[in-house]
Amino acid sequence: MCKYLGSELGDSEVITFSDGNIFIRIKETVRNKDVYVVQPIGMNPNNEFVEILFWMDALKRASANSVTAVIPYFSYAKGDKKDEPRVSIRARVCAECIELAGA
Average pLDDT, the chain: 90
CA distance 36 to 70: 7
Walk me through the domains of the chain, giving residue ranges and CATH numbers. Answer: 30-101 (3.40.50.2020)
Q: In the prediction, which pLDDT does 41 show?
A: 87
Q: Considering only CA atoms, which of 46, 96, 37 is closest in space to residue 76?
A: 46
- The pTM assigned to this predicted structure is 0.84
Mean pLDDT of 38-51: 89
Average pLDDT rounded to a whole number, residues 31-58:
92
